[in-house]
Every structure is written in C-alpha cells, then in structure tokens.
Amino acid sequence: MEQEITQEATDQKKEEIKKDIQSNRVVLYMKGNKMAPMCGFSAQVVQILLNLGVDFETRDILQDEILRSTIKDFSDWPTLPQLYIDGEFVGGCDIISELYENGELKTLLKVS
C-alpha cells in the first residue's frame, strides 16, 4: 500500500524521528534490519556496529515511504544508511567506515 506524503505526514514523521533518536542511544536508519540488511552499505554499517559490540536499534526505511523521504530531509543527508549516536547524526556508510578505521567511532560510542 502506497503512503501519501503530505506536509502533515512529514511533520509527524519528523517528530517520530526526533523521539526515536532521543530515546535510543544508537539508531541506524537503513534498508532492511540488523538481522537482514537489504543493501551492501547497510550491511557494512551493521557489521561495524556488531564488531564493536554496541547495542543499537535499526529502522527499516523500505517499510515506510514517508520515513524514507523524511529522514533525508531531517539529517540533510541524501543517502542511506544513516547513523545517529546520542541524538546526533554521525553519517552514512563512508563516514562510519572511516571513523571505524581510525578509531574515532569507538570513542564516539564509548566502547573499549
């Protein structure tokens, strides 16, 4: 079923995203979920987070057309996946991979 993307629906989804990233320390907006990523970039970020042993939530943008368009506006970032840590947008696959490789992601996530 196709969802109609209205301004009201978009505003409501932005509020949901705000609540989601405030109530979950680490949230990954991605294609699929952590058990079944549906694209290589999403799979790569999931693997990095699993390697670090951090608890994280995922939100499947393929299940929600309004979420898929709104999250890009919310972060002002055109691609997915998108990782949020402590309520802040960190980046997509390339940035997360780079932060992981140089050790900064560990610091951001406060894991040892």
Q: What are the tokens at 31?
A: 């294609």
Please tell me the total count of domains within the chain: 1
Going 9 to 11 to 12 to 17, the CA torsion angle's sign is positive
Return the bridge partners of 89, or none.
84
Residues 50 and 97: their CA atoms lie apart, in Å, by 13
In a domain, 44, yes or no: yes
Q: Is 34 part of a structural domain of the chain?
A: yes
Q: Is 3 part of any domain?
A: no
pLDDT at 79: 95
**What pLDDT was estimated at residue 5?**
82
Residue 20 falls inside a structural domain: no
Mean pLDDT by 10 residues, the chain (112 residues): 80 97 98 97 98 97 95 96 98 98 96 76
Is position 14 within any domain? no
Q: Is residue 5 part of a domain?
A: no
CATH of the domain at 69: 3.40.30.10
Chain position carrying tokens 């894991």 = 111
Rounded-to-integer distance, Cα 26 and Cα 10, Å: 22
Q: Is residue 2 part of a domain?
A: no
Identify the DSSP state of 111.
-
Looking at the domain assignment, is residue 7 inside a domain?
Answer: no
Q: What is the pLDDT of residue 101?
A: 98
Which residues are registered as beta bridge partners of 88? 85
Kindly report the pTM of this predicted structure: 0.94
Bridge partner residues of 27 (DSSP): 57, 84
Containing H/E element for 81?
none
Please give the residue range of the domain that contains residue 30.
25-109
